[in-house]
Structure 1
Amino acid sequence: MRRMAFFGYGYSAAALRRRLEPAGWRFLATARSPEKQAQAEAEGVEARLWAEADLDEMLGERSAVLVSAAPGAGGVDPVLARWGEALGRRAERVGWLGYLSTTSVYGDWGGQWVDEDSELRAVSARGRARIAAEEAWLELGARRGLPVHVFRLSGIYGPGRGPFEKLRSGRSVTAVKPGQVFGRIHADDIALALSASLLKPRPGRVYNATDDHPCPPEEAIAAAARLLGRAPPPEVPVEEAGLTEMGREFYADNKRVSNARIKKELGICWAYPSYREGFAAILAQEAADSAMGRLL
C-alpha cells in the first residue's frame, strides 16, 4: 500500500506527505479551490477540485485514506455526506482510514486529566459536530468493514504556524485565565503517529495526539519570547483579550489530555514532547532556511 488519498489537504496532511514521500508513496488530494489545487500540485500531490473529484480515481486499487476536512455548515461532515456510503461499498480497496478530530470533544474538565475513554462533554457547536462525525465514521467502519481510526489532535503548531509570527508583529497580547492549561502537538509528531498507525492498524481505535506537557498558554508564549530575545507580550484577562468566537470556545475548555494509549499501542516517542523542543526546532529550521537562501 503506497497510495494515500487526502480528503482535505492542509497543514497536517502536508506533514504526513513529507514523512511518507521518501518511501515512494503516491498522493492524490481533493482541493476546494484552484489556488489550493495549484498549491498541492506544487508539492507533488495530484489534486482534484472537490466538485470534480471521482472516488474511484481517488482510491485506485488499494489506498490509505486521510480525512482532515472539518465539519461544515450545520455541523455536517462533508466527506461523509458525499462519499461515506460509497467508501463503505469500496471497503476492500481501503487499507487504512484516518479521521483527524480534535481534543475539543472532551469539553471542560476543570483541568483534570482525560483519556480516550472519558466522557465527551463538548457543548460548543464545533465540539458537538466533531463528536457526531467521530461517531458516524466509527459506525460506518464497524458496519461496512472500513478500517477507521480516529485521532484527536491538540493545538497544532510547527513551521509557519506558531507563536513567533505574532510575537514579531509586536501586536500580540496573552489571554490569561487562572488555572487554564492547553496541550499542543507538533505537525511532525502528527505525521509520526499517523505513519505508525499505518504500520500497526487497529480499526475502530481512537487515539489522543497531544504532547507530554499541558501548560498555561502564558508559559509557552513567554518561552517563545525569550527564544526571540524579546519581552513577552502583555497579559490580559481572557474576557478583555478580544478573542474570536473560536478563541473563546478554546478557553472555555480546560483539561489535561493523556497520550498514554498512542505511545503504548503504536510504540512511539514524540520528537517534540513539549513546546520547548518544538519551538527551538522551528527557529533552528528558520535559521537553516535563511542560510540556504543566502547561499542560493
Structure 2
Amino acid sequence: MNPAVKPPEQVFIVGCGDIGRRVARLWQAEGIPVTGLVRNGGRLTATGIPAYLADLDDPASLSDLPVNQALVYYFAPPPQHGQDDPRMAHFLQALDQQGSRPQRIVYISTSGVYGDRQGEIVSEDTAPNPQVDRARRRYAAEQALREWGRQHAVPVIVLRVGGIYGPDRLPIKRLREQVPMVHEALAPQTNRIHAADLAAICVAAARRGTADAIYNVSDGNDSNMTQYFNTVADFLGLPRPPLIDRDEAQQTLSEGMLSYLGESRRMDTSRLREELGIQLQYPTLQEGLEATCQRDRDELRGTRDEGR
C-alpha cells in the first residue's frame, strides 16, 4: 500500500453529479471544504456544496478556477460526439492561463478504453485499444491530462471504471418495458461497481494513488450483461427481459446498447486492492442491490398493489 499524501486543504470537483456529490460528502465529513463546478447550481443548493458556475464548452467561463494546491476531481463527461474531448482541453488551457497548479488530479475514465478483449482479463498494463468513439474520447482525455501532469509536475491518477450501479442507476424502466436482451451465452463479460464504493475509491486514490498511475475499478466479480439484467429483475420482482439472438438484436436494440454488446472483457483489480488498500462495502451485486433497492422494491410493490 502506498503511503498517504498530505490531506488537501480544499477539494474542487469538475462535474459534480451523483459521484461528485458522494465524494464531496466524504471529504466534508472530514472538515475539508469542497466546491463543485456545474453549469447550473440548482442541484447542489440543497446539498450544502458550494457551486462554481461555469461551462466547459465555454472557455471564457473558466477564469479564476479555485484549484491552486487543491485536490481536483475531474468527473465531467466528454461531449457526445467526436473522438476527442475539447472540454478537457479547455480545462487544461484555463489552468495554464491562470498559472494554477493543483495538489493532484483524479480522473474517472472508462474500462471501454481497452476495447473488445473477447472476455479476456485486462490489467492496467494492457495496451488500450478503444474501438468506439465514446471510449476514444475518454482515452484522448486521459492522454491529455496525464501529459499535462507530467509537464507541470502535478500527480494525475486515472480510474478506469466499469459499469456503475446504485440508487437511480438501475434499469428499471427498461425492465418494465420488457426491452429484450441477448441470450446469456451471447452476452459479453462486464464489470460493475457500486456508486458508494466508487466514491470511496476516489478518496483512496487521492490519498494513496501513485502519480501518473492507472487503476482498474470494479468489484472483481465475473458477470455478463444478461446476468445483470436478470439479477436486477429478480431482485425487484419484475419479469426478466425477453431473450433474442444477435441478428434480432441488430434489428431491435439501440446503437448504444449494441456498442456495449460488442465488447467483452474482465478487469484485473489487483492494483486497486494492493496499492489503494480498498475493501469494498458492496463486494457482490447481491449486497449492492440489498443496500440500493429497498425504496425501489417498495415503490414497485405499491404500484402493483394499486393495479389490483
Place the TM-score, normalised by the shorter chain, in its bin: 0.7 to 0.9
Partner AA of 2:45 in structure 1: E
User: Does structure 2 retain, via aligned residues, the 8 Å contact 1:137–1:148?
Assistant: yes
CA contact (8 A) 2:191 2:218 kept: yes
Residue correspondence of structure 1 range 1-296 to structure 2 within 5 A: 1-32=8-39, 34=40, 37-47=41-51, 48-50=53-55, 51=58, 53-59=61-67, 61-72=68-79, 73-87=81-95, 93-167=101-175, 169-176=176-183, 178=186, 180-241=188-249, 242-284=252-294
Instruction: For 1:25 and 1:155, locate their aligned partners in 2 and report how far apart those are by CA, in whole Å.
Output: 29
Distance 2:18 2:245 in 1: 30
- 1:207 alignment partner, SS class: strand
Question: 1:77 Cα deviation (Å)?
Answer: 2.2
CA offsets per residue over residues 149-174 of structure 1, 9 Å max, x none?
Answer: 1000101111111134433x343332
> What per-residue deviation string (whole Å, max 9, x for no partner) do you get for residues 163-202 of structure 1?
34433x3433323461521111111111111111222131
Q: Which moved more, 1:136-145 or 1:219-228?
A: 219-228
Cα distance, 1:229 vs. partner?
Answer: 2.8
Q: TM-score, normalised by structure 2?
A: 0.83
Q: Distance in 1 between matches of 2:161 and 2:99?
A: 25
Q: 1:91–1:102: structure 2 CA closer, same or farther, 3 Å change rule? A: farther
Identity %: 28
Closer/same/farther in 2, CA of residues 224 and 201 from structure 1, 3 Å limit:
closer
1:208 Cα offset (Å): 0.7
Letter in 2 for 1:252: G
**CA drift at 1:58:** 2.4
For residues 99 and 264 of structure 2, the distance between their equivalents in structure 1, rounded to whole angstroms, comes to 38
Instruction: Report deviation, 1:237.
Output: 2.5
Q: After superposition, give the CA deviation of every residue in 1:219-277 in whole Å (9 maximum; x if it has no partner).
A: 22222222223332211234434332222211111111111111110011111122111
Q: Tell me, what secondary structure is at the counterpart of 1:75?
A: coil
Shift in alpha-carbon separation, 1:76–1:234, aligned structure 2, 3 A = same
Gaps of 5+ in 2: 1-7, 301-308
Instruction: Tell whether the 8 Å contact from 2:216 to 2:267 is kept in structure 1 after alignment.
Output: yes
The Cα of 1:44 is off from its aligned counterpart by 1.6
Amino acid paired to 2:288: G
* Conservation of the 8 A alpha-carbon contact between 2:178 and 2:242: no
Distance 2:298 2:23 in 1: 22
SS of equivalent to 1:74:
coil
| Structure 1: gaps (5+ residues) | 291-296
Instruction: Identify if the C-alpha distance between structure 1 residues 284 and 77 changes in structure 2 by more than 3 Å, giving closer, same or farther.
Output: same
The 1:147–1:219 alpha-carbon spacing in structure 2 relative to 1, beyond 3 Å, is same
Question: For residues 142 and 276 of structure 2, what CA distance do their matches in structure 1 show?
Answer: 20
Q: Contact 1:107 / 1:253 at 8 angstroms: preserved in 2?
A: yes
Identify the range of structure 1 (87-96 vs 62-71) with the bigger mean alpha-carbon deviation.
Answer: 87-96
The Cα shift of 1:53 comes to: 4.5
Over 3 Å counting, the alpha-carbon distance change for 1:239 and 1:7 in structure 2 is farther
Partner Cα distance (2:180, 2:187) in 1: 18
Q: Secondary structure at the match of 1:278?
A: helix
Alignment partners' CA distance in 2, 1:237 and 1:186: 29
Measured after TM superposition, the shift of residue 145 of structure 1 is 0.8
Higher normalized helix content (fraction of residues) = 1
Normalising by structure 1, report the TM-score.
0.87
Would the alpha carbon gap of residues 109 and 191 (structure 1) be closer, same or farther in structure 2, given more than 3 Å must change? same
Q: How many residues align?
A: 285
Cα distance between partner residues in 2 of 1:193 and 1:231: 33
Secondary structure at the counterpart of residue 279 of structure 2: coil
CA distance in 2, matches of 1:202, 1:282: 32
Distance 1:20 1:126, change over 3 A: same
Q: Report the RMSD for the aligned CA atoms in angstroms.
A: 2.5
